[in-house]
Amino acid sequence: MTIKALTRLNDRTVTVHARSTVIQGKRGRAFLGFYLEGLCYMSAQAQTSIQKVMPPASLKQGYDSVTGAGRSTAIVGEADEIGGTSTLQVTVATTIHELTEALGIDQSLSVSYGPIASGDQKLRFVRNLEITSSSISIVVYSLHLSRIQTLKNFSLDPHVQAPTDPNSITKFFNAYGDSFISSRTLGGEYYAVFTFFANDMQEQIKLKADLQASGIYNGVSANAEFQVNFSRVTRTATTRTNFVQSISGIENPVLPSPDEIVEFATKFTSLDQDMEAVIDFSVTGYENVLGLSAMGALAANRIYFIGDESSPGLGGKLGELIGLRNKIDSLLQTYQVYGGYVDNRLTAVRTEVECDIGAVNNQIYEWEKNPVQNFPALAFNSLKNGSPSISVSVGTFGPYGGNGGNPFDDVPDPLGFIASRTHLISVGLRGGEYVDQLLATYLRENNSWNYKHGGNGGGYKGSITIAPNSPVTAIAGRAGRYVDHLTISTSSSTLDGGGDGGNPFSTKIPAGNFLLGFRGRSGDALDQIIIVYAGFAPATWK
């Protein structure tokens, strides 16, 4: 289980997180934290009480295991120190829980992304991944442990009064939390995550199988062969992807390119750790301290929030909520790329998700007020809908023209094309007696490329820009043996080129649809054109 935050070490800002938390003598879970969003059912008191919390920084310090806040110290004891080790691992993760375990972060922490206004590096990293309910991530994680500090012979500070009843337990909790830092691990870590955003669970399963067939699976050795396989699958991905990496323990590092991550991760443990970071800490519940058995009264509530080995607690449900919210947001963003689409159920479920998160925040606020009260189980109605996947209908006009030249297809996989948010941003023409060349430029994320269909004859007729607010509305022309003429119209401009041969044709992109791209045939000229368009339908839920 992992917790991270920012603290100060030798006047430098460094990263802190925790992995294995001792609660009731068992390995425990991390804090839930607060949300900036999800205020649908969140009380006004809870909203106004949200504030920045300070994470723990030293051995013995008190700790609130639900919010991740550091508290005052109520424990005395002796510190012991041993040397650390280094590890390098590869994981293929299909859920937030698997991803956060691979990064050394417990699920209950990761899905909450830490307390409000937290500047924690690793929580920002996880949040920026925007993991959805159907995404799949390749994780390369290198960890260098320089030393481990452990608290031994601990006991209650004689100047601190032990609680005996619910009121005194609450007062003790407000001052010292429900647990304390019992060990710290110092060193550095490097992690790189490449994420594929599959459209649905079926595509996710297929993608995982394809990765395994390519030699990428849990526990595979991070060697040169893995790097070759990794580079190949990431370069040829047809779905939307994201690559993010981070490092702690080294000041002003130069991060590698995706083609160099294995070499960098392998060498990381031998690099000069000039900015030692607290990369792990463990906590122990106060009920395990002699004289503090009364604190066991809130142990069940702690498990309700952050879980234990048998149950993920509220944190597990938060993981599902975040995955669902990110998936809905991803679909809504895809709609916007192609000019927008109104999916009433999708937006309604998005509101339900915020309401469920708000209900969790209410309970966290109540925990802060009285940690020994009874907390009713939440319904999580939004999760009963399942997970959405994009629904698309694809149509074509044509073919127009002859059978000369060689075939081309800019849109071999329309659904993958749309899932990766690949879209047409401009079209150019060269022409004389006929259309000599069609130049189509596409954009995916921040990468653009163009396809030239035809030769370099004729004169350049210019280009037309295609955007969500200026979509292609109609394509007309003339065609016979070749595509003799083309007129491409958007809502704001027109591109025209070619001669007067052939027979006329005229098409209009149906209302609610958008031009996706082109297919056809070409050689020294544009021999044939097929116009590919698509439209959205309400998302399907499974």
Say whether both 379 and 394 belong to one domain: no
* pLDDT the model gives residue 121: 62
Average pLDDT over residues 494-522: 96
Helices vs. strands in the chain: H and E counts, helices first? 12, 24
Say whether both 281 and 428 belong to one domain: no
Say whether both 186 and 148 belong to one domain: yes
Give percent of the chain with pLDDT exceeding 70: 86
Q: Which of 338, 361, 384 is where one domain is finished? A: 384
**Three-class DSSP category at 125:** helix
pLDDT band at 117 (very low <50, low <70, confident <90, very high): very low
Give phi and psi for 528, each to the nearest 5: -155, 150
Do residues 163 and 171 touch, judged by C-beta distance below 8 A?
yes
* pLDDT the model gives residue 40: 56
Say whether both 372 and 404 belong to one domain: no
pLDDT at 57 over 90: no
Say whether both 310 and 437 belong to one domain: no
pLDDT at 463 over 70: yes
Say whether both 446 and 365 belong to one domain: no
Say whether both 56 and 198 belong to one domain: yes
pLDDT at 8 over 50: no
Which pTM was predicted?
A: 0.79
pLDDT at 1 over 80: no
Task: Show the domain range for 64.
Answer: 5-384
Pairing, β 12-16 against β 22-23? unpaired
Give phi and psi for 52, each to the nearest 5: -70, 135
* pLDDT the model gives residue 353: 96
pLDDT at 76 over 60: yes
Tokens 């004389």 correspond to 432
* pLDDT the model gives residue 109: 39
Concatenated DSSP letters of 175-229: HHBSEEEEEEEEEEEEEEEEEEE-SSHHHHHHHHHHHHHTT--TT---SHHHHHH
Nearest-5° angle of CA 444, CA 447, CA 452? 90
In the chain, how many domains are there?
2
pLDDT band at 24 (very low <50, low <70, confident <90, very high): very low
pLDDT in tens, 153-180: 999 999 999 999 999 999 999 999 999 9
Concatenated DSSP letters of 107-122: HHHHTTTSSTT---HH
Q: Which of 332, 365, 384 is where one domain is finished? A: 384
CATH number, domain at 513? 2.100.10.30
**Three-class DSSP category at 206:** helix
Of 124-133, 249-258, 516-525, the range with the lowest mean pLDDT is 124-133
Of residues 68 and 211, which shows the higher confidence score?
A: 211
Average pLDDT over residues 396-403: 97
Say whether both 74 and 138 belong to one domain: yes
* pLDDT the model gives residue 123: 63
pLDDT band at 467 (very low <50, low <70, confident <90, very high): very high
For the chain, percent helix, then strand, then coil, each to nearest 5? 30, 35, 35
Of 10-24, 335-349, 505-519, the range with the lowest mean pLDDT is 10-24
Say whether both 310 and 425 belong to one domain: no
> What is the distance of C-alpha 120 from the center of its chain?
16
Q: Which of 384, 409, 440 is where one domain is finished? A: 384
pLDDT band at 337 (very low <50, low <70, confident <90, very high): very high
Residue type, 305: F
Do residues 214 and 80 touch, judged by C-beta distance below 8 A?
no
Give percent of the chain with pLDDT exceeding 90: 58
Say whether both 32 and 66 belong to one domain: yes
* pLDDT the model gives residue 278: 78
pLDDT band at 44 (very low <50, low <70, confident <90, very high): very low
Count of Cβ atoms closer than 10 Å to residue 83 Cβ: 8
Average pLDDT over residues 485-492: 95
Say whether both 117 and 155 belong to one domain: yes
Say whether both 370 and 514 belong to one domain: no
